Amino acid sequence: MTSPYTNIVILTGAGISAESGIQTFRAVDGLWENCRVEDVATPEGFAADPDFVQDFYNQRRSKLQEITIQPNAAHLALGELEARFSGSLTIITQNIDDLHERGGNTNVIHMHGELLKARCSASEEVVEHKGDIVTGDLCSCCKTPAQLRPHIVWFGETPLKMDVIELAIEKADLFVAIGTSGNVYPAAGFVQAAKMYGAHTLEINLEPSAAENQFEEKRYGKASVEVPALVVELLASE
Ligand code: NAD
């Protein structure tokens, strides 16, 4: 039997990394790791207290590299899907961690940036950066070196690679959203676009998300259980 799909697009959110020990972003009380989102995830918050914001991401960056933080069964299943699926697979992630890459995926679009990279605040050049960033750490790309900042898209900034994302969604015949609350736009609107272009749409989450009524198919449970089961189904028809 051949797979009914040739272009799969998967949107992931903080829920896929929850079972790896990374806290999700709690939309209900607006706190992320006990900090106010406006303080640590907006350009205004960074301008008001750069040391506090750098420290917040330094802690997250350091934790991500602890031995206990590893890709879980959901990340590994998506890695296997990429290795064995004969069509194309694009992962669009809102996550800033590198667990998809460590799970074996190579075609990953980090629309909200990456924790293990730093960006020059003047030229926007991005470099690998695994250690802390502090006020006074300067880039090496500008004539007058400028302050480095976390390579994170904060609220009010434009998500990355939207042109590539739009093309992938246009071609998708299967669109799956995994572990995302459907509260953060533009990602929350991707399901509508995918449906409009004719994709089958599937939500995998612990509970119905805010975008739940946009999906044709829904599976509720842990990503570590539901995602491997989906991958088995998709590969069975290869
Ligand atoms: P969110 O925290 O708003 O929503 C997470 C969703 O995942 C919820 O709907 C929840 O029910 C679900 N969930 C939790 N545990 C799950 C599990 N084990 N299996 C399946 N589903 C599970 O996350 P979001 O929608 O991605 O939006 C939050 C924003 O915060 C994003 O912009 C993202 O960049 C950022 N963020 C990223 C990380 C990360 O990189 N891992 C962590 C926290 C926040």
**Number of residues written out for the chain:** 238
Instruction: Quick: pLDDT tens for 69-87.
Output: 999 999 999 999 999 999 9
Phi-psi region of 21 (alpha: psi -120 to 50; beta: other; left: phi over 0): left
- DSSP class of residue 97? S
Atom of ligand 1 nearest to the CA of 12: 26
Nearest by Cα to 9 from 230, 174, 149, 187:
174
Report CA dihedral (233, 234, 235, 236) to the nearest 10 degrees.
40
Shortest-distance Cα residue to atom 14 of ligand 1? 15
Q: Which residues are catalytic?
A: 112
pLDDT of residue 30: 61
Instruction: Quick: pLDDT tens for 118-166.
Output: 999 999 999 999 999 999 999 999 999 999 999 999 999 999 999 999 9
pLDDT at 237 over 90: no
- List own/partner pairs for 140-147 with CB under 8 A and 24 or more apart: 146/120, 146/121, 146/122, 147/50, 147/121
- Give the count of alpha carbons within 13 A of 212, CB side only: 10
Q: How far is the centre of ligand 1, averaged over its atoms, from the C-alpha of 179 (Å)? A: 6
pLDDT of residue 19: 96
Q: How far is the centre of ligand 1, averaged over its atoms, from the C-alpha of 71 (Å)? A: 15
What b/e readout covers 224-238, taking b as 16+ CB neighbours within 10 angstroms? Answer: bebbbebbeebbeee
Cβ atoms within 10 Å, residue 201:
20
Shortest-distance Cα residue to atom 39 of ligand 1? 95
Ligand 1 binding pocket includes 209 (Cβ within 6 Å): yes
Q: How far is the centre of ligand 1, averaged over its atoms, from the C-alpha of 137 (Å)? A: 30
Q: What is the mean pLDDT of residues 172-193?
A: 96
pLDDT at 232 over 80: yes
Q: What is the mean pLDDT of residues 95-105?
A: 98
Ligand 1 binding pocket includes 214 (Cβ within 6 Å): no
CA 1 – CA 139 distance, rounded (Å): 53
Shortest-distance Cα residue to atom 31 of ligand 1? 94
Q: Which residue has the higher pLDDT, 168 or 1?
A: 168
Ligand 1 binding pocket includes 159 (Cβ within 6 Å): no
Confidence at 1, pLDDT banded by 50, 70, 90: low
Cis peptide before 186 (omega within 30 of 0): yes
Packed helices 73-84 and 223-236: angle between N→C axes, nearest 10 degrees: 20
Confidence at 15, pLDDT banded by 50, 70, 90: very high
